[in-house]
Amino acid sequence: HAKATGGSRHCFYSPAMKEDARTRLTLRRELQIAIDQEQLFVLFQPKVDCSSGQPEVSGFEALVRWQHPEKGLISPGIFIPTAEENGQISDIDRWVMEQVLEQLGEWVQRYQDRVMPVSVNVSASLFSRAHFAETLLEMLENAAVPAHLIELEVTEHVAMAGFHRTLETMQKLKSMGVSLAIDDFGTGHSNLAYLREFPVNRLKIDIAFVKGIELDAKKQGLVQAITDMAKSLSMDVIAEGVETDAEREFLQSVGCTCYQGYLFYRPMAAADIDLLLKRDGGQAGVMHEK
Ligand code: C2E
Ligand code: MG
Ligand code: MG
Ligand code: MG
């Protein structure tokens, strides 16, 4: 769009751009219907910890999906950016959080201390909203879910916007017992001085640095640096998008022992997570989405 063209301040609408604007308007309208009529649903992707040598499930990431009545399944890569532009993202994020809390409430009743934390992606507009932490606390209390079962994933962009306000929100969340992760780490502009001050529990190494890491010296250097930095900041580190044994082996050799990726598990329905939680110890087998 106009912002991406850089130099020119004028924006001449071509037929293609009009089409694009219309498409976005349709998407916006349909997304509102999706929110109202519950066409959205949440999948959970297990994360594994291999530090003991054996893969053990250590938690899940909640990932939203949209079952469109005519267009079928739409991935968040398509509708989240639009929702971020038009302000619908906060409604989606809040809806996802409610679903996750409801699910966690059930799991707490069913599995007590075998329940594992769920991380939820939070967009800039929700995270930076006044009283975000207080609102979340209220939601946790209403759902009778202990705060340590929720981890929030924010991107570098969210974390680095406005130091004092962000720090204040993060400190409130920390005092509540909610964990924080920086998502897609390495793709944005992290201010390392900020990062040092923030009470962040985990860095998630973006899939871009993981894909084919065994063949790429630059990716190797970056992942090594991120892993070492996380250690020196007393943060955990997890690699996203691990698909092959070669990637996993290389990550392990630089000290990154927690993974999220198709090599272990795909995003799954809550009912499939139930089967995992029922199994004692949560030992991960290789399990693929149908
Ligand atoms: P993300 O938060 O970085 O989530 C990880 C993405 O990587 C997910 O894509 C997941 O399905 C995918 N993934 C996991 N393992 C692998 C793998 O081994 N290979 C490959 N190629 N991909 C893998 P998904 O579910 O399509 O979500 C895309 C993005 O949409 C997310 O990236 C996140 O930024 C956003 N998103 C998803 N759900 C929500 C939500 O509820 N709220 C907000 N604000 N954003 C969300
Ligand atoms: Mg995420
Ligand atoms: Mg990510
Ligand atoms: Mg992402």
Q: How far are the Cα atoms of 94, 108, 142, 158, 170 from residue 131, in angstroms, in the given order? A: 14, 26, 17, 16, 12
Tell me which DSSP letter residue 66 carries.
E
Contact predicate 228/192, CB 8 Å:
no
pLDDT score at 12: 54
Q: Which residues line ligand 1 (CB under 6 A)?
A: 45, 63-64, 75-77, 80, 89, 93, 96, 121, 123, 153, 183-184, 207, 240-243, 260-262, 267
pLDDT score at 1: 38
In the chain, the percentage of residues whose pLDDT exceeds 70 is: 90
Has the ipTM of the complex gone over 0.95?
yes
pLDDT category at 149 given cuts 50, 70, 90 is very high
Instruction: Give me the long-range contacts of 212-221 (CB less than 8 A, separation at least 24).
Output: 212/247, 213/247, 213/250, 213/251, 214/246, 214/247, 214/249, 214/250, 220/250, 220/254
Q: Which ligand is nearest to the CA of 205?
A: 3
Work out the widest C-alpha separation in the chain, in whole angstroms.
Answer: 62
pLDDT score at 183: 96
Say if residue 173's pLDDT is above 70: yes
Ligand 3 centroid–CA 264 distance in Å is 16
Partners of residue 185 on adjacent β-strands? 205
Q: Which residue's structure tokens are 């349709």?
A: 26
Q: Ligand 1, atom 46: nearest CA belongs to which residue?
A: 121
pLDDT score at 4: 42
Q: Report the chain's mean pLDDT, rounded to a whole number.
A: 90
Q: How far are the Cα atoms of 25, 30, 76 from residue 34, in angstroms, in the given order? A: 14, 6, 13
Ligand 3 centroid–CA 66 distance in Å is 19
Helix (H) or strand (E) holding 150: strand 150-155
Q: Which ligand is nearest to the CA of 99?
A: 1
Say if residue 71's pLDDT is above 70: yes
pLDDT score at 33: 93
Mean pLDDT is lowest, of 7-21, 115-129, 240-254, for: 7-21
- Interval 69-76 mean pLDDT: 93
Contact predicate 98/62, CB 8 Å:
no
Spell out a b/e string for 94-110, using b for 16 or more CB atoms within 10 Å of the CB, else e.
bbbbebbbebbbebbee
Say if residue 206's pLDDT is above 70: yes
- Interval 221-235 mean pLDDT: 96
pLDDT category at 2 given cuts 50, 70, 90 is very low
Q: CA-to-CA distance for 203 and 183, rounded, in angstroms?
A: 7
Q: Ligand 1, atom 5: nearest CA belongs to which residue?
A: 240
pLDDT score at 27: 86
pLDDT score at 288: 42
139 in helix, strand or coil?
helix
pLDDT digits (tens, 9 = 90+) for 22-43: 888 888 899 999 998 889 999 9
Q: Is 124 left (phi over 0), alpha (psi -120 to 50) or beta?
A: alpha
- Interval 263-276 mean pLDDT: 96
User: Token pair of 95, please?
Assistant: 């809806």
Contact predicate 120/152, CB 8 Å:
yes
pLDDT score at 19: 65
Q: Ligand 1, atom 27: nearest CA belongs to which residue?
A: 76
pLDDT score at 97: 97
Q: Which of 44, 80, 98 is the best mutation target for the ligand 1 pocket, counting ligand atoms within 8 Å of the beta carbon and taking the most?
A: 80
Pairing of strands 258-260, 236-240: parallel
Residues with a beta carbon under 5 angstroms from ion ligand 4: 184
Q: Is 184 left (phi over 0), alpha (psi -120 to 50) or beta?
A: left
Determine the length of the chain. 290
pLDDT digits (tens, 9 = 90+) for 3-19: 444 344 444 555 566 66
Q: How far are the Cα atoms of 125, 227, 229, 234 from residue 207, in angstroms, in the given order? A: 24, 14, 18, 22
Say if residue 285's pLDDT is above 70: no
Q: Ligand 1, atom 8: nearest CA belongs to which residue?
A: 63
Q: CA-to-CA distance for 45 and 264, rounded, in angstroms?
A: 9
pLDDT score at 10: 47
pLDDT category at 155 given cuts 50, 70, 90 is very high
